[in-house]
Amino acid sequence: MVTPNHYLALSAVLFAIGSIGVVVRRNLVIIFMSVELMLNAANLAFVAVAYGRGLMSGQSIVFFVMTVAAAEAAVGLAVILAMFRNRQTVNADDIALLRW
Amino acid sequence: MTMHTPAPQEAALVVDYLRYIPLAPLVGVLIHLILGQRAGRAVTNIVACSVVYVSFMLALNAFWSIYTGTPGTVLSDHVYSWISAGEVSVDFSLKVDALSALMCMIVTGVGFLIHVYSTGYMWHDPDYARFFAYLNLFTAAMLLLVLADNLILMFVGWEGVGLCSYLLIGFWYTDMAKASAGKKAFLVNRIGDAAFLIGAFMLFWGLASAGHPGLSFANINANVDALPHALVVGAALLLFVGATGKSAQIPLFVWLPDAMAGPTPVSALIHAATMVTAGIYMVARLNGLYMAAPEAMNVVAVIGATTALMAATIGVAQTDIKKVLAYSTVSQLGYMFLALGVGAFGAAVFHVMTHAFFKALLFLGAGSVIHGLHEEQDIRKMGGLRSKMPHTYWTFAVATLAIAGVPGLSGFFSKDEILAATFDHGNYGLWAMGVMAAGLTAFYMTRLTVLTFFGEFRGGAQAESRIHESPGSMVLPLAVLAVLAAIGGYVGVPHVLGGHNQIGAFLAPVVGHHEFQISAATEYALMAVSVGVAFAGIFFAWRLYRRGPEGDKVLSDWLTGGYEGMAGAYFLDDVYDALVVRPIRRTSEWLWRVFDVEVVDGLANGIASAVTNIGGVWRRWATGNVQHYLLTVLIGVAALVLAVTVRS
Amino acid sequence: MTLPIANIEVLYPLMFACAWGLLVLTVEMFSLSRRFVGIGWLSALGLAAVAGISLSGQGAGEVFAGAVALDAFSVYFYVLLSVLAIFAVFLSMDYVPLAGIIHGEFYPLILFAVAGLLVMVSATDLIVMFLGLETMSMAVYVLAGIRKDELRSNEAALKYFLLGAFASALLLYGIALIYAITGSTVLGSVANAIASTDYLAADSLVLMLGVGMLLAGFAFKIAAVPFHLWTPDVYEGAPTTVSAFMATAVKAGAFAALLRIVLVALAPVMPDLSWLMWVLAASTMTMGNFVALRQTNVKRMLAYSSIAHTGYLLVGVTAATAEAGAAVLYYLAAYGVMNIGAFGVLAALTRRRHALQEISDFAGLGQNRPVLALVMSICMLSLMGMPPLAGFVGKFYLFTAALEAGYTVLVVIAVLNSVVSAAYYLGVLRAMYFQSADAEEYSPRPYLNFAVTAAAAVTVALGLAPSPVMGAASRAFSSIILGP
């Protein structure tokens, strides 16, 4: 029997994978995808809680978060693209003009 | 033991002109800022002096009201309620009582003379508008400090004078050493100010919890008994640390000698006559608080006496005319703290006044010498200026005798009262230190005067031909100050000499009355000791330096048989030299090089560089790599979450 | 026809800000000149109208089942944010052409960012707060990188974006965990749920996990240590007026949201967490000040200074009394105007497409441009805490409130910190007055000069007469403590 707690556990796993991805991958696009994974982990948690407790709010929150994620993707890719056009790189290690 | 009668209840008289006393110089600042150099020299000079003159006249009016009013009259001017936090409100209120009336007279009166002097001194400086803007701003801030009726408003002036001092020390910015001297002065002052602020906060909090909210001086002094004793002592000590910063006492005195980098009128006004006395003024203002904290009073007395002796010793070996005067100022301020520490608040304020006269005069005279010698400050390259700069010489000589404590001149009365009060208080050790410092003061001041004005000129023929006496705008203030330095002490002639100590009686409603318990005979004896010590100092210095900067040279001349006829006299000099002067000179060199430069200054610099080094290390945390930042955020979250969960 | 939403008036300032942003975007499309300052004026007008509408007193209360509230707290921040944004707009009217920013979206983006901030400060629901935060962030990501051909601008946008998105994800997951335990995202209900239920250990662990992540998300936005690393890089790389906006308006908005969360939703657990706030406050101000000492780039120095000021503000959050909260609100206003002035002077020193940012670039300013130098001095002295300027009064309020709440050691640390800070603010003054340099030719910059002079004037005025703003701050703060 799959309970909401199982979904919560899955969401935690997804969140962990996302946050590890953020710090270990060097490619900016993949780092960003990892962040999106974290957002979706949160979405899953909201839905699972809403389902388990019989609440509506969690379900509707997910729509807002999806919109946010979409907007973030648009802005994020634009920022990465602008960077790529000037530098021909999407490697996080190559970007350290601003420091100290 | 001393009988100390606390100040009686005061009767406030509401007036509305006090606010114009600090406002007038502020208007001057605005005019200088807006018009700048466009106004021309004449207009700038007139504006700068006349705004201070307006303040002086208003201060005189206030002083007259206090002087002629019933004892304990207080003028107050409530401008508006500035900061209100909960039940506590800090008002923009000004108050004149006997203490602040006297300080106001000193600040505006001496300040006015120095403004006039500056018009001559800065005549050739292209940046005169900026100079007078700073000088007027300083005067406004100082007046606010003096007139404020609460600790926070006083802090506004307190910080303001520090800022102006910083700007004026670095005024001639072409010299980077001068600019960094300004920075050092400001930072050392800020350390003191932090202590001041923490002390003020402690009082704020303590008084609010005791049910007497408010930081007005009247409230603090009146309700000090309602506070826990530890808090009173702590606040008094912290405020005193603030005072050591502003008034250049151990350990925060290091900035004052460096501050001599500024124009000489600035040294006279800010670093001798007024700003550096702010610490003394503050302690006298809070006499109720300090009387309730005998432990803090002892610290004040010990620091004061130690500083007086140490700085006087260092003054012996300095060769820069302004550095000698700077250490002398530190030493004289030490006397004032000694007086405060033994509860002789009136004597301290009396010495503030006489010191303002003779030290301003000394600095202005030194400025006149520097001006006449085209920026030469080394006394080894001076000499024989008596005939070339007669006005400067005569006025300088009066000031020297006054600070040395020659009977009849102003310094004698105030210094003597301090020493008598110290003896009366039972601190014989501190008294002895004060007497030693008095002897050294007479010695180094005579040395300075002799090397500058007597003997032959040692700066070369070319420089000699260009020496000139200073213009009238500079000499006139010297003359006025010389008169004050000579007769200024007669307001405080002690009872044993048939006087009435009018200044003591005048200040009594504010700082309490101080009745000596020692007998008249003891008082005469003490007087004789300090006069004897002063004359001894003058005598030794005269013998040793009348022929030039090297006392040692005297000895070698005698050995080669150059002056056989006066051998006996020189032998005597040799003995003085070996037994008295050389040990003092050595101690002086040692104190200066080791204590001042290495220990205190080194400590200050060490802390500063430690802070910047830590900053330099922490700075490397921001590597620029976005993933390091992401990792830091992740670790931070983990730490935060751990902290939150573990604790709850 | 009326919309079927009760209390819709509450949303008028918000709706107006969004609509005005769209209007400005449309007008800009049809404007013929790229340098059309009318767009700036139009934006400023809209922002002024937002402040006016929120002050008009129409519609106080809540909407969307208690998700958005227009209480005195919201009004205070609506006005503050509008004023700060107007300053940023005026700074930009000269700066944008100078910096060679040719994108018409600049002003609409500022308006959208303001709209997001307005949502954030008036939200009484965690998810609405998150939405406001994201709306604002999205606009600011773009603004930071609006100079597309500038490598530093690119990098600033990228760093801000990646770290911001990461922090948002943490924040959102924190909200999800809190939702999982309390079953609500409305601040008041969360507080009630936390206070009234005796949770099993496992539940309380999850809850605190959520609280920790939520706090971390806001600690990031206000730039508290150790979440501060993005600040110097982003402020340095972003266009100067955008940095000004970020350092002032965005920080004020984030603090407003943090105050609502800490003092409403987390009120039941705050007594256990005050030590954590204490540590955050102390380490943030010390870190900011110590590293600022080592900066030679003024923009970076101001960034570290803004971190240090986050630390001072956190002293107020730690104390968490009514006085301390009001002090935080006042300080945000004071800090906002003085920082606008400082960044504004930096913007005013821009030469054609080249921003002057090093401390040495300030050499001789006292002689060559006395008014700018005076403005910069006032702002530096105020940031340093020199009385009687706004920064001093703000610190006075903050520190006395913290003392009354019993945080003596923290206040001592803060006062000592302000001693350290004097050293680097003084460096700027020293360059301006104690060093000389040849005068530069500048094109006339009327709007910039006006804005920085006004900011300095407000800094002085807020210091000399703090009572009106402080009164408003007290009322504003008590509205979230005692309100529904």
Q: What is the pLDDT of residues B382-411, one digit of tens each?
A: 888 888 888 999 999 999 999 999 998 999
Neighbours of chain C (3+ CB pairs under 8 A): A, B
Q: What pLDDT is stored for residue B271 in this prediction?
A: 85
- Domain hosting B21: range is 11-542
Distance in angstroms (rounded) separating the CA atoms of residues C438 and C364: 7
| Tokens, residue C437 | 């340099």
Which amino acid, one-letter code, is at B113?
L
Name the more confident of B615 and B7: B615
Q: Is residue A94 part of a domain?
A: no
Residue contact A96–B624, C-beta within 8 A: yes
Q: What is the DSSP string of C105-145?
A: THHHHHHHHHHHHHHHHHB-BHHHHHHHHHHHHHHHHHHHT
pLDDT band at A1 (very low <50, low <70, confident <90, very high): confident
Select the residue from C154, C170, C229, C397 to test the B interface by mutation, using most B Cβ atoms within 10 A.
Answer: C229
| pLDDT at position C66 over 80 | no
Average pLDDT over residues B543-567: 53
| A55 assigned to some structural domain | yes
Give the span between the Cα atoms of C62 and C262, in whole angstroms. Answer: 20
Chains that touch A (3 or more CB pairs under 8 A): B, C
Interface test with A, best of B617, B621, B626, B637 (most A CBs within 10 A): B626
Q: What are phi and psi of B548, to 5 degrees?
A: 145, 180
Q: What is the pLDDT of residue C484?
A: 39
Chain B positions in Cβ-Cβ contact with residue A26 (cut-off 8 Å) = 627
Interacting residues of B52 by C-beta distance below 8 A, sequence separation 6+? B24, B25, B28, B108, B111, B112, B115, B136, B139
Asked if residue C237 has pLDDT above 50, the reply is: yes
Average pLDDT, chain B: 85
Across residues C105-117, what is the average pLDDT? 94
Percentage of chain C lying above the pLDDT 90 cut? 57
- C68-81 pLDDT, tens digit per residue, is 888 889 999 999 99
Contact C16, C48 (CB under 8 A): no
Q: Is the residue at A95 inside a domain? A: no
Contact B327, B312 (CB under 8 A): yes
In this predicted complex, what is the ipTM?
A: 0.96
Q: Is residue B627 part of a domain?
A: no
Total tally of structural domains belonging to chain A: 1
Task: Indicate the number of domains in chain B.
Answer: 1
Comparing CB atoms, the residue among A58, A76, A86 nearest residue C154 is A86
Determine the Cα–Cα distance for residues B109 and B103; give it in Å rounded to an integer.
10
Closest CA to B204 of B239, B247, B158: B239
Least confident of A59-68, A87-96, B441-450: A87-96
CATH of the domain at A46: 1.10.287.3510
B147 in any annotated domain: yes
Confidence of residue B562 (pLDDT cuts 50, 70, 90): very low
Range of the domain at A50: 4-88
Mean pLDDT of B252-274: 86
Q: How confident is the prediction for chain C on average, in pLDDT?
A: 88
Q: Is residue B582 part of a domain?
A: no
Are B204 and C419 within 8 A, CB to CB?
no
Higher pLDDT: C270 or B568? It is C270
Q: Write down the pLDDT at residue C201.
A: 60
Query: B93 in a domain, yes or no?
Result: yes
Spatial neighbors of C50 by CB under 8 A, at least 6 apart, are C13, C16, C17, C20, C78, C82, C114, C118
Least reliable range by pLDDT among A65-69, B387-391, C283-287: B387-391
For the cut 80, the answer to whether the pLDDT of residue B505 exceeds it is yes
- For B350: left if phi > 0, alpha if psi spans -120 to 50, otherwise beta; the answer is alpha
Q: Taking a C-beta distance cutoff of 8 angstroms, is the pair A64, A74 a contact? A: no
Query: If we measure between CA atoms, which residue out of B386, B357, B394, B392 comes closest to residue B371?
Result: B392
Contact A96 B625 (CB under 8 A): yes
Give B509-529 pLDDT, tens digit per residue: 888 877 778 888 888 898 999
pLDDT tens digit sequence for C291-316: 998 888 999 999 999 999 999 999 99
> In chain A, what residues touch B623 (CB-CB under 8 Å)?
96, 99-100
- B535 falls within a domain: yes
Q: Is B634 on the interface with A (CB under 8 A)?
A: yes
Q: Is residue B86 part of a domain?
A: yes
pLDDT in tens, B127-183: 888 899 999 999 999 999 999 999 999 999 999 998 898 888 888 766 666 666 667
Mutate to test the interface with A, among B612, B621, B625, B637 (most CBs of A within 10 A): B625
CB contact under 8 Å between A8 and C180, yes or no, is yes
Instruction: Show the tokens assigned to C444.
Output: 């006339």
pLDDT, position C359 = 85
Full DSSP string of C383-422: HHT-TTSHHHHHHHHHHHHHHHTT-HHHHHHHHHHHHHHH
Is residue A100 in some structural domain?
no
pLDDT tens profile B355-364: 999 999 999 9
The pLDDT score that the predictor gives to residue C328 is 95
Do the domain assignments include residue A79?
Answer: yes
Spell out which residues of chain C touch residue B29, defining contact as CB-CB under 8 Å.
none
Q: How far is A15 from chain C (nearest CA, A)?
A: 8
φ, ψ of residue C354 in degrees (nearest 5): -130, 110
B97 lies in some domain: yes
Residues of A in contact with C161 (CB under 8 A): 75-76, 79
Beta bridge partners of B563: none
B441/chain A closest Cα distance in angstroms: 53
Residue range B252-276: average pLDDT?
86
Picking from C166, C232, C370, the nearest residue to B633 by CB comes out as C166
Residue B6: inside a domain? no
Judged against a pLDDT cut of 80, whether residue C199 lies above it is answered with no
**Model confidence pLDDT, tens digit, residues C98-108:** 888 877 789 99
Distance from CA of B165 to the nearest CA of C (A): 13
Q: Is residue A99 part of a domain?
A: no
Residue with tokens 């406004």: B140
Q: Which residues of C touch B183 (CB under 8 A)?
A: 423, 426, 430
pLDDT at position B580 is 64
**pLDDT at B576 (0 to 100):** 60
pTM of structure: 0.91
**Which chain C residue has the Cα nearest residue B33?**
C370
Helix/strand number for chain C, H first, E second: 20, 2
Residue C355 has a pLDDT of: 59
Nearest neighbour of C162 by CB, restricted to A31, A55, A64: A31
